[in-house]
Structure 1
Amino acid sequence: MGNLITLAALFVAKVTDNALSTTKTILVQRSRWILAGIAVIISDFIYFWITKRVVSADSEIAILVVAFAGGVGCSLACFINEKLSKDRIYVNVIMSDDLEEMKHFRDFLAKHHITNVAADSYTLDWDAKTISITAYPETKAESRLINDYIARSSTKFKRVVQPT
């Protein structure tokens, strides 16, 4: 029973360690250096505590539990980050040789109140006019609407997506 409690404690500690380590990386990317430093301090303490316990346990099961918990901790931190992060805004530049379809797409964006700019363009062979649209979705839901529209359409679109 004591061995099971030790393994459970190692599991929880390693999940916490990896969650903090992944969170540290996210905080560094967001220029939150002081919080990232605090996460490193706590994560390192937990890591050394775990290492001491695993080495003294002399058990492959302990190593397996800690390895599995590392993956769980990383996944948990990524999941929480995704749920708590602000919506990302992507600039979508969409082009097609089909002028009528581009007009329908422009109307679709307007109907869903997705900010966009339509500009005159030419087809690849310069034979006909068309329009290109730059769309600025402000939420994940708006981005999904654009994705769904393009996926359902039988028209071939050229799309360039850039994060802002």
Structure 2
Amino acid sequence: MGLKLHRQAFVAVASVAWADGRLSNGESVGLLRAARESGIEGQDFEALETAVQAGVKLDDFDPSQLTDWEKAFAYAIAVFVAKLDGVVNPAESESLTALGAVLELPDLKLEAAASSAFDVACLPGGHRPDKYDFDALNTRLKEKLPSLRPGPDE
């Protein structure tokens, strides 16, 4: 994935994945694969992996370190991860709503991010954490949210 995301983006995603009190293998695989593909490595990856396995809450997330583009991308990945076990249960749905509020992005931008995640999940194999195309998500987000697009050197 050409985009580099801050580790905090994945703390947000993990908080949604843990909203129902458990983390499925698919959710863990999808989240950690997305983190690797977005440039999280070394000690940052190890710290994230430990936090993901131990469980994190939305209170552990600091959105101040993210650009609006990173916020939208994190929200899209959170939507994807929440759907990996086949259903977005009420706790995960509430957590996505709470994450949206913390991200402070307009509802239309959150809806576009969620729609982008769904579009990519509909591609062949897109519902599987080992096949989800994060580059396609990046492209789809750029199409749906051109006002948030990162600059050429981001």
Same fold (TM over 0.5): no
What TM-score, normalized by structure 1, do the two folds share?
0.27
What TM-score, normalized by structure 2, do the two folds share?
0.29
Q: Larger Rg: 1 or 2? A: 1
Q: Which has the higher strand share?
A: 1
